[in-house]
Amino acid sequence: MAERLLLDMDGVMADIYQQAINFEFEESGKLIALEDVVGKDEIVAFPNAKRHVRQKGFFRTAPVMQGAQKVVRELDEAYELFIVSAAMEFPNSLEEKYYWLEEHFPFISWRNVILCGSKVPVSGDILIDDHYKNLDPFQNRSLLFTQPHNVAEDRGHERVNNWEEIARLLL
């Protein structure tokens, strides 16, 4: 049986930073540069983020991370792939994340999508995530997807910077 690979959505498959930049610019006219938010949590980095993540369309219209669609398709053929995303905290995210996946990753069966509150109970052989809160309790191989909020810290997880690196490591 193939190894079970767990993929996070926000900050790994979906470009949440670009989405936050887009929403902030649309509302305030202020263009926030990625280099200005390095080392800051998303909610701190973007002044209106707490409201934006609750807005209809925030998760549904997030851009896809460059290279994700091609590599995820290849990973889906090589692994027992599951998408695992926290989707209970923000009211619209559950439905929006489902439809976002259906649009951008239609080859992933709904049976392989876990939209949850905490990822701790979900088990697998490999987890790719951008948050330490999900990687630290994970018992097996963990890959930290680089995002501005995690650049300055190192807790011993394998770091990947993009989907090309993931392909080289796992395919």
CA pair distance 21, 30, nearest whole angstrom: 9
pTM of the model: 0.96
CA pair distance 141, 161, nearest whole angstrom: 16
Count the domains in the chain: 2
pLDDT digits (tens, 9 = 90+) for 22-43: 999 999 999 999 999 999 888 8
Burial zone of 133 (CB within 10 Å; 0-12 exposed, 13-18 middle, 19+ buried)? exposed
pLDDT digits (tens, 9 = 90+) for 50-62: 999 999 999 999 9
Catalytic residues: 8, 10
pLDDT digits (tens, 9 = 90+) for 124-156: 999 999 999 999 999 999 999 999 999 988 999
Range of the structural domain that residue 41 is part of:
16-52
CA pair distance 59, 104, nearest whole angstrom: 12
* CATH code of residue 106: 3.40.50.1000
Q: Which residues face 14 on adjacent strands?
A: 10, 64
Same-domain check for residues 85 and 35? no
Same-domain check for residues 75 and 159? yes
Helix (H), strand (E), coil (C) string for 17-44: HHHHHHHHHHHHCCCCCHHHCCCCCHHH
